[in-house]
Amino acid sequence: QVQLVEAGGGLVQAGGSLRLSCATSPSMFTINIAGWYRQAPGKQRDLVASISRSGWTNYADSVKGRFTISRDNAKNTVYLQMNSLKPEDTAVYYCNADVLREGIMRNYWGQGTQVTVSS
């Protein structure tokens, strides 16, 4: 069974920073393309940023210049560095990735991590 394990959420004041991580469990499984999504109460889940295995990145307009997605392929881990956080960034953040296991690529979601930004 493959899982995506997220960490790094929490409560921070506006203007602060947080770093989220997403790793495969067991760690030996390879992440292909990966993305971070977020969902605020009463709203749909939206893409925040994505990254290919080679490092090509894409960002939602609302986070460009503030958030950075990165990855460590040796650790099968994807990160989301969030700077200059705003109250409107408050949401549950989910990792999503295509994971290669035993020659088969499947899509997985993490369990979600809460990010709360106070004003």
Extract the tokens encoding 72: 């460590």
Residues 85, 15 contacting (CB under 8 angstroms): yes
Distance CA 75, CA 85 (A): 27
Question: Which parts of the chain have pLDDT scores under 70?
Answer: none
Q: Spell out a b/e string for 48-81, using b for 16 or more CB atoms within 10 Å of the CB, else e.
A: bbbbeeeeeeebeeebeeebbbebeeeebbbbbe
- β-partners of residue 7 are 21
Tens of pLDDT, residue by residue over 11-21, are 999 999 999 99
pLDDT at 18: 98
